[in-house]
Amino acid sequence: MLQLVLFNVFNGLIIGAFYVLMALGLAMILNLSNVINFAHGNFLALGGYIAFVLTPYIGFWGALLVSPLLTAVLGLLLERFLVRKLYGRDPVYSLLLTFGLAFIIQDVCRYIWGPNGLPVSVPPSLATPLSNELFFVTGYRLFMVAVVIVAVIALFLFLRYSRMGMRIRAGTLDLETVAALGINVRLLRSLNFAVGIFLAGLAGVLAGGQIGLNPNMGDDLLMPSFIAIIVGGVGSLTGTLVGGLLIGVAGALTTVFYPSASEAVIYIIMMLVLLIRPRGLMGEEGMLT
Amino acid sequence: MSTTTADTVFERPAQRSWLPTVAIWVVLLTVPLWLPWIGGYTALAGRVLVLGLAAMALNFLLGFTGVMSFGHAAYFGLGCYGTGLTLKYLSDSTPLAMLVGILLGGIAGTVFGALIVRRRGVYFAMVTIAFGQICYYVAYRWNSLTGGDDGLRGFQRQPLHIGNWIIDIQNNPVLFYYFIAAVFAVCIGLMAFLLRSPFGRTLLAIRENERRARFLGIPVERHIWLSFSISCFFTAAAGSLYALLNNFADPMTLHFTLSGEIVIMAVMGGMRAFWGPLVGAAVFVVLQDYISSMTVNWMSFIGLLFVLVVLFFPRGLLGFVRAYSEK
């Protein structure tokens, strides 16, 4: 029983790690640009597919580095030519735009790579279990968790200490003042968008190695990521981090006792949070509400 | 957005305002006569009316209160399942089944609306999406009751009994079309009445300037909550008709994809025009029907439609026509 619980907690942490990568990117874009990026899950799929294409040439490690960057460049182009036009307009338009983009990207992926699952080959050094008792702890899964931890720490350091990061945080609180202080807000938003998409691309490569690729692989992650943001509190990235891990582990633990409720439980958590603490666990009252 | 003033609903000259209404009703009532000649089928016209009603109900909230819900598929789908389940397990009365569907969707919306009424903008949208997905997962997972992924089958709309009269909407598609049109007329009549009432004008005031409305002593939260609930009831009515139209309840009617489609119908037709969402629904349904029969890559075309509408027709077809005719 203990092993089963451990197994599921570990699974939950891995799923939660994906939620966190997705949700952090979504939340950054939401906080600074007031845009809900429906296509976020499709950027995740794109990241995975780009890695699939690159792996034969530069290996898994190369793809892990290059693919998120290329995904971010694609995101940057879409931001520059489409999303940017809608800043400051009624948010319904940017929602519909990313909604349409999600359709298009998914269909293009299906057109190019086919509707069936494709594997991303993982280096053999990562594919073996570490021990017999803890059979579920393969090297690759530990590696994924490690990459996510490094990425999240790097993101928080970037936001906390770099000049750009501080501007992003300031812009989240009061974009007008930031603009009035002479900072190029358009560039800031583009960069912020690219960082968010980079995280999605990274999640895509990691997910590809774990569960394989298919055109709608991001769809199942999108909704939990929304919920991670709502539970954690809009405007607080730490909250999003906690929210993602919380619903990941809660969902996985529920699988032990009552498997068919594993998805329901994250919605129940969301409803409880909305009832008891509408601003979210770590959200501040008045942020974006 | 606040540059367009409240002229759309009540400041237009009275002598012009009946013309579009009459034109639209003439078209709607004669559909069964001419549609087969141009290659359509009556069920398609029914779909236009049903989704048009859903889009107009959403627009009560989006266009006339200025609050963005991206989860209206939930109430549409609840109406759909409520009607289907009643017909399958409880009763063979079509009106009773519709009533159950409408109450199910409407009350769910009312209860949920009370939770989220303080949220605004994109956050409101996000919370409504998430709630919509709860309903989707319940329908998807509760296999024994709802049929899960395959949808709810095994029920049929039943003929109407009025006194000694029997209206056979079950086997006569044209009669059923007129039944949909009648329900549609009642619903939008009620919405038009509400929008012209002091309550409706208060909603417009909130849309135009929430802060000022609050200073005037208007209980903004309560009005938004009421508007959300009303919108949910009418959306559930549309969903209920949808179950009768297809004799089938599909879990995709609860999915957020449909929410997005309802929103694009409203925006494409024109959010600020009362009839806009119906026009948008007609264009969307016909295009979707046509494109999905032509190519397997219909998703790209629908996605492209979203992008083009947002970039080039943000005020919708009717908004475009109005801007052109006023030049």
Assigned domain for A61 exists = yes
Pairwise CA distance, residues A226 & A242, whole Å: 13
Q: With a cut of 50, say whether residue A1 has pLDDT above it.
A: yes
Residue A275 has a pLDDT of: 82
Residue A130 has a pLDDT of: 64
Residue with tokens 């969301």: A270
CA distance A168 to chain B (A): 19
- Which has more confidence, A160 or B37? A160
Residues in chain B with CB shorter than 8 Å from the CB of A274 are 115-116, 127
- Residue B4 touches chain A, beta carbons under 8 Å: no
Local confidence band at A100 (pLDDT 50, 70, 90 cut-offs): very high
Residue B318 has a pLDDT of: 83
| Residue B140 CA neighbour count, 13 Å, CB half | 15
- Residue A212 touches chain B, beta carbons under 8 Å: no
Assigned domain for A205 exists = yes
- Residue A265 touches chain B, beta carbons under 8 Å: no
Cross-chain CB nearest to A223 (options B123, B130, B300)? B130
Residue B140 has a pLDDT of: 84
Assigned domain for A38 exists = yes
Q: With a cut of 50, say whether residue A24 has pLDDT above it.
A: yes
Residue B273 has a pLDDT of: 87
Residue A289 has a pLDDT of: 40
Assigned domain for A201 exists = yes
A230: helix, strand or coil: helix
Assigned domain for A243 exists = no
CA distance A67 to chain B (A): 24
Residue A255 has a pLDDT of: 82
Long-range contacts (CB closer than 8 Å, 24 or more residues apart) made by A119-124:
A119/A208, A119/A212, A119/A213, A120/A48, A120/A51, A120/A52, A120/A55, A120/A60, A120/A63, A120/A205, A120/A208, A120/A209, A120/A212, A120/A213, A121/A55, A121/A60, A121/A209, A122/A60, A122/A209, A123/A59, A123/A60, A123/A61
- Total domain count for chain A? 1
- Would the CB atoms of B122 and A36 count as touching at under 8 Å? yes
Local confidence band at A268 (pLDDT 50, 70, 90 cut-offs): confident
Range of the domain at A77: 2-114+126-216
Pairwise CA distance, residues B55 & B77, whole Å: 14
Residue B16 has a pLDDT of: 58
Q: How far apart are the first and last CA of chain A?
A: 43
- Which has more confidence, A6 or B61? B61
- Residue B115 touches chain A, beta carbons under 8 Å: yes
CA distance A263 to chain B (A): 8
Ranges A16-25, A130-139, B40-49, B241-250: which has the least confidence: A130-139
Ranges A117-121, A125-129, A163-167: which has the least confidence: A125-129
Ranges A44-58, A125-139, B46-60, B244-258: which has the least confidence: A125-139
Local confidence band at A136 (pLDDT 50, 70, 90 cut-offs): low
- Residue A77 touches chain B, beta carbons under 8 Å: no
CA distance A39 to chain B (A): 11
- Would the CB atoms of B303 and A107 count as touching at under 8 Å? yes
Assigned domain for A265 exists = no
Assigned domain for A235 exists = no
- Residue A95 touches chain B, beta carbons under 8 Å: yes
One digit per residue, the tens of pLDDT, for chain B of length 327 reads 444 444 444 444 444 577 888 888 888 888 887 877 777 777 888 899 999 999 999 999 999 998 888 889 999 999 999 999 998 888 888 889 999 999 999 999 999 998 888 887 788 888 888 888 888 888 888 878 887 777 888 787 887 777 778 777 777 888 889 999 999 999 999 999 999 999 999 999 999 888 898 899 889 889 999 999 999 999 999 999 999 998 888 888 888 889 999 999 999 998 888 889 999 999 999 888 888 888 888 888 889 998 998 888 888 888 888 777 776
Assigned domain for A288 exists = no
A218-239 pLDDT, tens per residue? Answer: 888 888 898 999 898 887 888 8
Residues in chain A with CB shorter than 8 Å from the CB of B270 are none
A129 DSSP 8-state letter:
B
This complex has an ipTM of: 0.84
Residue B3 has a pLDDT of: 45
> Chain A neighbours among B 197-236 (CB < 8 Å)?
none
Residues in chain B with CB shorter than 8 Å from the CB of A227 are 130
- Which has more confidence, A125 or A208? A208
Q: With a cut of 60, say whether residue A22 has pLDDT above it.
A: yes
* Helices (H) then strands (E): counts for chain A: 11, 0
- Would the CB atoms of B119 and A289 count as touching at under 8 Å? yes
- Residue B287 touches chain A, beta carbons under 8 Å: no
